[in-house]
């Protein structure tokens, strides 16, 4: 479920950035021909799109941060519940890293 939410948030973020790019390109294309009011309207549309993109980015960041904290808590609980298994895993990983480092 969290993976689906992250994917949806990522897709929304990408759509917002694509809209921002299109609006910016339109602004650049029409800068020479637009009157003051038309340019202001297009700038406000770009500003609104940018705000939506920032909000979506913030939501995605918060979601990733929450999942990261949940992973840290789960890891700490596992280590506290199974200290000897954790030591064994850490020793095994250290041994493998040592083997890989000496192969160079």
Residue whose structure tokens are 């929450």: 66
- pLDDT at position 97: 93
- pLDDT at position 28: 66
Domain range list for the chain: 1-103
Helical H runs in 31-82? 36-81
pTM beyond 0.75: the answer is: no
Q: Which residues 6+ apart lie within 8 Å of 10 measured at CB?
A: 60
- pLDDT at position 104: 65
Taking only the tens place, the pLDDT of each residue in 40-95 is 777 777 777 777 877 887 787 788 888 888 888 998 898 899 889 988 998 999 99
Name the nearest CA neighbour of 50 among 20, 9, 25, 28: 20
Is the predicted pLDDT of residue 96 greater than 90, yes or no?
yes
């Amino acid at each position: 479920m969290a993976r689906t939410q992250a994917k949806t948030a990522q897709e929304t973020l990408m759509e917002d950035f694509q809209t921002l790019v299109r609006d910016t390109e339109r602004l650049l294309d029409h800068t020479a021909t637009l009157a003051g009011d038309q340019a202001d309207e297009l700038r406000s549309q770009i500003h609104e799109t940018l705000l939506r993109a920032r909000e979506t980015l913030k939501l995605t960041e918060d979601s990733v941060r929450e999942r990261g904290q949940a992973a840290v808590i789960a890891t700490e609980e596992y280590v506290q519940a199974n200290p000897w298994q954790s030591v064994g895993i850490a020793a095994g990983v250290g041994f493998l890293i040592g083997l890989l480092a000496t192969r160079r």
